[in-house]
Amino acid sequence: MIDTKLQSRPTPQENATKQKSETTNEPSPYQFNRVEALLTVLCALFLIAGWIAAALGTASWFHTALFFGSYLTGGYVGTITAVRALREWRLDVNVLMIVAAIGAASIDYWAEGAMLLFLFSLSNTLQAYAMDRSRNAIRALIKLRPNEALLLAADGTEKIVPIEALQIGDRILVKPGERIAMDGRVAAGSSAVDQAAITGESMPVEKTIGDDVFAGTVNGHGALQIQVTRLAQDTTLARIIELVEQAQGRKAATQRFLDEFEPKYALGVIVLSVVTLVVSFFVLRHAWSESFYRAMTLLVVASPCALVISTPASILSAIANAARNGILFKGGSYLEQAATIRAIAFDKTGTLTLGKPRVTDVIVASDVLGEKWFDADFFQHLDPQGPSTPERCTVEELLLVAASVERHSEHPLGEAILAEAQRRGVEWIDVSDVTAQPGFGVTGMVNGAHIQIGNKRMFEAANQVWPEPLRRAARDLEAQGKTVVGVSRNNHPLGFIAIADTLRSNAKQALDALRARGVKRIVMLTGDTRRVAAAVASELNITEYYADLLPQDKVTLVERIAAQETIAMIGDGVNDAPALAVSHLGVAMGAVGSDVALETADVVLMRDDLMRLPYLLDLAKRARRIVWQNIAFSLTVIVVLILSVFAITLPLPLGVVGHEGSTLVVVLNGLRLLRTR
């Protein structure tokens, strides 16, 4: 058997990009994050060394130098960020922390200042590690689109051209196994096209003259001549890319709130410290040393170390817990968002179902018709133009002839038949004269008999009229969302094989568990036909479902629901990427998910286990409770310490103990989320 699938090879553009990246010295954001993590580790080492040196009674200059090393490493990134903010006339927490550390050092509390910088550097490193890493989504999408196409000129010659050079009305040739480069309409030829990347359909779709095709889909067994109907920038795939870009540019509400709150808090603390210094020295006539001491104490205790680290300590613990249980969160904000989910939209193919066609029923004619249909006298009384005479066979014999012929076919339905024959231990035999009839089926000679395997159109073209009971049984299976493949021998019906994309074994259990956890609205979205969607929805007790959807249709539906309530989108394919991006929470099925779905999603189920979803919601709600406990506690401590500075002239060492003690408490409280429930 000849493998017609094309080998993946880099395009000229990709080679140019690679060469450019190899010849430039621009650091990647991931390298910068590693440097920041290294500086945090060095800060901790210098801090510990300084503590040990001070405890051993070394010279003051020695342990001060060690603490100074902690200042340099722990404050490097924060100082750069603070200077950049000040140049833009902005105040943020970075400015506040650097000023607080300098203030602590100015009154000879180097260890306390170093601890402030270490905790602040650690929180920034942890947050950077948990940041959204979906920047490669566009690159993954672009890989689906061929950069070139084979243009058929008016004089019949062929020429490879960039897709940007193609105009509406041009005709391109797509060979078997190639990816279609442009949206268009089939002008010549017929083939089965795998549209899963765009429409999410579980079965390849037969395309003949006049049918529309999409860029990024994969041609099957036949060559196609396609007349271009959209320019490169207007194709369905290009619109998917645009949708993902737009969705990724939207800031979360939490991020906007923090962006607004941070400079106000920093400015308030600095102003309060300056006012305290001025009032104490000029109004209350306290000594300069006492006034400066009180102002620096206020600056230190008001520094939001516990507040800053309370959220990442909790969120990162929950993320680690999730990772051990097969759930990958790409950032802490997505964990917070998961706690608010009230509606979930599921893609069907590859998410609720396995995404692979499987044989569900093997029906032989005798089981449906009864014995009288095999009595020759019975047919003598029928209209000569009536039903074709069926033949007896067993299930094993039906699979034997079907698998023997389909072994020479590359059609996914044929692969499903072969898999079923192997599962039942049926050994196929040699065949001859195998002929694929695109859009109809496949034929071959088995033991001298002419075998036909295909759809209803194949048998109608052969003037076979199957008995009504067989046709009725086939319609019943089709009503269940199954694809029915007929098998005949020498124009005599033998029976048929039903094939369908099967449900995941725990899909219904997972949906029931989600409903029990407060998910009020479960929606199914699919590019499959309404008949298939209805059958799956009925089996899963889903009352709201939408079929025949293109990617932009899924986006519209998800946005409509998102305007009403917080929604998560669960999907696995390229066609799901825009919907994943515009939902409040995008969840991708990991093991079978496409690269772009995994890059665009906020959460990845690494084990493709839908029962991870209820656990995800439970963990998110638990994390939210602990985060708010930490926030409330840290804010309370800050308020109490600030009041103590004015009420009892709080000593700086005691302020640091309270400040760092509160930090330790919120960290330990957050670490409780590491425990698996």
Between β-strands 205-207 and 191-194, what pairing exists: parallel, antiparallel or unpaired?
Answer: antiparallel
First to last CA, the chain: 51
Residue 223, classed as helix, strand or coil, is: coil
Type of residue at 659: H
CB neighbour list of residue 132: distance below 8 Å, 6 or more residues apart = 330, 331, 333, 334, 602
What is the Cα–Cα distance from 146 to 561, expressed in whole angstroms? 34
- Half-sphere exposure in the Cβ direction for 146 (13 Å, CA): 27
Q: Between 60-87 and 110-129, two packed helices, what is the crossing angle to 10 degrees?
A: 50
Look at strands 567-571 and 343-347 and give their pairing.
Answer: parallel
- Residue 165 is given by DSSP the state G
Three-class DSSP category at 623: helix
Which residues 6+ apart lie within 8 Å of 160 measured at CB? Answer: 148, 149, 150, 151
* Token pair belonging to 541: 């007790």
CB 329 within 8 A of CB 319: yes
500 backbone dihedrals φ, ψ, rounded to 5°: -155, 160
* Residues facing residue 158 across a β-bridge: 152
In angstroms, the CA 510 to CA 13 distance is 44
What does DSSP say about strands 432-437 and 158-162: parallel, antiparallel, or unpaired? unpaired
Question: What count of other Cβ atoms lies within 10 Å of the Cβ of residue 31?
Answer: 10
- Is the separation of the CB atoms in 117 and 107 below 8 Å? no
DSSP-derived 3-state class of residue 89: coil
525 within 8 A of 345, measured Cβ to Cβ = yes
Q: Do the beta carbons of residue 171 and residue 151 sit within 8 Å?
A: yes
User: What CA–CA distances, in Å, run from 469 to 368, 466, 487?
Assistant: 7, 8, 15
Annotated active-site residue in 347, 501, 572, 576: 347
* 463 torsion bin: left (phi>0), alpha (psi -120 to 50), beta (else): left
Q: Which residues pair with 213 in a beta bridge?
A: 184
Q: What is the DSSP-derived secondary structure letter of residue 221?
A: S
Cα 390 to Cα 382: distance, rounded to the nearest angstrom: 14
C-beta separation of 638 from 301 below 8 A? yes
Q: Which residues contact 399 (CB under 8 A, 6 or more apart)?
A: 362, 417, 420, 421, 424, 426, 497
375 catalytic? Reply is no
- The DSSP secondary structure of 522-566, one letter per residue, reads EEEE-SS-HHHHHHHHHHTT--EEE-S--HHHHHHHHHHHHTTS-
Tell me the helices (H) and strands (E) count for the chain, helix number first: 24, 22
Residue 374 CB burial class (10 angstroms; 0-12, 13-18, ≥19): middle
Q: Supply the residues annotated as catalytic.
A: 347
